[in-house]
Amino acid sequence: MYKPNYYEKKEESEQKRLITHKKYNVVEYRENVWKRAIPFINIMSLLTRILPINIAKKNLEKKRFKAGWYNMAWRYALLKRLGVRFIGNGYRIIQPNVCIYNPDRLSMGERITINDNSYIECSGGVEIGSDVMIGHGVSILSNSHKFDALDIPMNQQGETFDKIVIGSNVWIGAKATILQGVTINDGAVIGAHSLVNKDVIKNEVVGGTPIHHLRVREYDESIF
């Protein structure tokens, strides 16, 4: 049976305290835990600097399936060693079983959550802004197969690569697929199970396979 370690027990206790006092705010809570974890993360980052790349990759695979802040902190340090460019000091929640390939072509801001079973192929380059929520099972694919030649098997025709840019304050619903060359601008919402094969404008809400326009988010004073 799995037994939570000291850091996970402390996290659970803090969460219960916030809920009890009706001051629970997910971002504030995660920022507070991240700040307390920073000294530990800095030590991890120093340790991982001396790791050969192949050893860092193997360790990341081992930590990929494990839950809890302790293992997420290790994933952060190992991804940093493997070349991910982290911009800002806010939290990055990378849940278990998130696959990130060619991490040296990935950059991301702060206050980001990437949920379980997501797949990010960065060979063509992937940029993620700040305050981004990525649902579970999302695929972000900056490469694709060539298939134009009829006399050559498709698995021998090579690949194409094109950068994906995801702005800030973006919500990508569960099991959406983002294709190469796409830009998702700030404030956009991508519906669950959507196929994003074209750019999404600022504050646009889209959904479908392939995506179509649903509406544009507008400021509503009545909810504030």
Lowest average pLDDT, out of 44-48, 98-102, 108-112, goes to 44-48
Q: Which two tokens stand for residue 181?
A: 């060359």
* Packing angle of the helix pair 26-49, 69-81 (nearest 10 deg): 50
Q: What is the mean pLDDT of residues 212-223?
A: 80
Label residue 35 by pLDDT band (50, 70, 90). Answer: confident
Which two tokens mark 40?
Answer: 């530990």
The residues, any chain, with a CB within 8 Å of residue 37's CB and separated by 6 or more, are: 7, 69, 73
The neighbour count for residue 178, using CB atoms within 10 Å, is 25
Q: Name the residue with higher pLDDT: 71 or 121.
A: 121
pLDDT given at position 22:
46
Closest to 188 in 3D by CA, of 169, 208, 163, 173: 169
Would the pLDDT of 23 be above 60?
A: no
Rounded Cα distance between 206 and 21, Å, is 37
pLDDT for the residue 8:
55
CA distances from 219 to 25, 28, 166, 224 (A): 22, 23, 21, 10
When pLDDT is averaged across residues 107-133 and rounded to a whole number, the result is 97
Instruction: Decide which of 139 and 18 is more confident.
Output: 139
Mark whether 193 is an active-site residue: no
Q: What percent of the chain has pLDDT over 70?
A: 87
pLDDT tens digit sequence for 166-204: 999 999 999 999 999 999 999 999 999 999 999 999 999
Of the candidates 136, 145, 212, 213, the residue annotated as catalytic is 145
pTM (global) more than 0.75: yes
DSSP letter string, 44-74: HHHHHHTS-HHHHHHHHHHHTT--SHHHHHH
pLDDT greater than 60 at residue 94: yes
Instruction: Compute CA distances 39 → 47, 73, 154, whole Å.
Output: 13, 11, 49
Mean residue pLDDT of the chain comes to: 89
Q: Assess contact for 207 and 172: CB atoms under 8 A.
A: no
